[in-house]
Amino acid sequence: MRPRPNIRRLRNAEWLDRLRPSSGEGGSQVRADPAGVLTGIHYLDGDFACGEGAMAAGCRFVAGYPITPSTEVVERIARRFPRMGGIFIQMEDEMASMAAVVGASWTGTKSMTVTSGPGFSLMMENIGLAAMMETPCVVVNVQRGGPSTGLPTMVGQADMMQARWGSHGDYSIIAISPRSPQEAFDFTIDAFNLSEVYRVPVFVMMDECVGHMTEKVVIPPADKIEVVPRKLTSKPPEEYLPYKLNGGFVPEFARAGDGYKFHTTGLTHDERGYPVMSAECQEQCVRHIVEKVRLNADKIVRFEEEHTKGADVVAVTYGITSRVARMGIELARAAGVKVGVLRLIVVWPFPEKRIRQLADKVKAFVVPEINYGQMVLEVERCAAGKAGAIPVPHLGGGVHDPNDICKAIVEAAK
């Protein structure tokens, strides 16, 4: 069986249009800064491609701490940033890295950090700060075997739930899962664009396999790459309120140093950005930071479907497992099972609507993951008993044996 070539083209223009809300307030797109775009055909590993994507998206501040298998992302950036006006700083720990990313983002500079499981856990408090302050930023997690120190150099996908629920309290985030170096490039640009539109931390949930795999990466010319720039308020300082919605679904941004003299805090705050310790304020403040993503999920959600029409079983896959699962699916198909695939691209918000629709029509979902079963729980929740949700766990350190996936699919079809 020959694997299909996996060369992604550019931005999905229709998807980018969906990012723009109908009120037109989401920010115009502009062409990427050519200084950051390494146009050409490259042979890059996923980590390097992710770094290139960040630079193409206009990221100019990166604070990071070394952690296998993510370090190559910042190593690439450290090499290229001084030639394009960016600053990379290796901070003393991951908590400092995330704090610096949030701080830098408030100057209007697109900021990113990069980590893996243990660092992800450390960053959680400041990820919550970014969510609460509505700070656009990107966090790349090149997942490895966990928990704790786990398997530093080997693959895992066990941080998926943590991406959604890792910090305390209620908030929404967006998480994207690339499955190839090309997608690592493309989706990192998408991650920056999404974070600008929704003013939310966006996670690029890679894994060690994709991060350390070297493949062809096509980087288009800068004028073919659309990025969403930081949208600044047009109001004068006397009228500006940092968290007033003004009919949009996110408040307008003001940069530190532009004379707005605004205040922002991780405490529950009102539209002036001042802390207000009351249940009413909590209701408004928290409801907003959850719903700005939740109520716009249709615009954000993205997945690829194949052969789901008339299928008895649908495999829900993401990341490196989506590539490995192809073989298992082909084998199952050869054995006579009508099996479709739903490959998650945006993992959070989860495509609840589509899963609910499919649950009416299929016997079961099969969810292979390199963890004990995380996204399968979401599938199960959305299927609501109408279809089975069968996990195919691999606890980490390697990818699945396609035969295991095939077996699970065949079982599920019975």
84 vs 395 by CB, closer to other proteins: 84
**Does 188 help bind other proteins (rule: CB under 8 A)?**
no
Candidate list 66, 169, 221, 259; residue touching other proteins; CB under 8 A: 259
Q: Minimum CB separation from other proteins for residue 123, in Å?
A: 11
Tokens at 210, concatenated: 């994709």
**Does 109 help bind other proteins (rule: CB under 8 A)?**
yes
How many CB atoms lie under 10 A from the CB of residue 259? Answer: 11
Q: Find, among 404, 205, 410, the residue nearest to 320 by Cα.
A: 205
Candidate list 25, 75, 125, 271; residue touching other proteins; CB under 8 A: 125
Q: Minimum CB separation from other proteins for residue 89, in Å?
A: 6
Q: Minimum CB separation from other proteins for residue 341, in Å?
A: 39
**Does 167 help bind other proteins (rule: CB under 8 A)?**
no
167 vs 172 by CB, closer to other proteins: 167
H or E segment at 8?
none
129 vs 342 by CB, closer to other proteins: 129
246 vs 265 by CB, closer to other proteins: 265
Tokens at 247, concatenated: 């009919």
Q: Find, among 393, 338, 328, the residue nearest to 362 by Cα.
A: 338
Check whether the bond before 69 is cis (ω within 30° of 0): yes
Residue type, 185: F
**Does 257 help bind other proteins (rule: CB under 8 A)?**
yes
Terminal CA-CA length for the chain: 25
Taking a C-beta distance cutoff of 8 angstroms, is the pair 213, 46 a contact? yes
Candidate list 54, 100, 184, 320; residue touching other proteins; CB under 8 A: 100
Interaction mask 268-287, other proteins, x per CB under 8 A: ----x-xx------------
Candidate list 13, 267, 295, 334; residue touching other proteins; CB under 8 A: 267
180 vs 264 by CB, closer to other proteins: 264
How many CB atoms lie under 10 A from the CB of residue 348? Answer: 25
Q: Minimum CB separation from other proteins for residue 126, in Å?
A: 6
| One-letter-per-residue 3-state SS of 277-315 | CCHHHHHHHHHHHHHHHHCCHHHHCCEEEECCCCCCEEE
Q: Minimum CB separation from other proteins for residue 162, in Å?
A: 18
**Does 102 help bind other proteins (rule: CB under 8 A)?**
yes
How far apart CA 129 and CA 135 sit, in angstroms, is: 8
Q: Over the Cα atoms of the chain, what is R_g?
A: 21
How many CB atoms lie under 10 A from the CB of residue 256? Answer: 15
How many CB atoms lie under 10 A from the CB of residue 268? Answer: 19
**Does 118 help bind other proteins (rule: CB under 8 A)?**
no
Interaction mask 17-36, other proteins, x per CB under 8 A: -----------x-x--x-xx
Q: Quick one: CA dihedral 100, 103, 109, 113, positive or negative?
A: positive
Using alpha carbons only, what angle is made at residue 163 by residues 379 and 395, rounded to the nearest 5 degrees? Answer: 65
- By CB under 8 A, the count of residues binding other proteins is 57
Candidate list 13, 17, 83, 149; residue touching other proteins; CB under 8 A: 83
| Of residues 35-54, those binding other proteins (CB under 8 A) | 35-36
Contacts to other proteins by CB under 8 A: 28, 30, 33, 35-36, 58-61, 63, 82-87, 89, 91-93, 95-97, 99-111, 125-126, 129, 229-230, 255-267, 272, 274-275
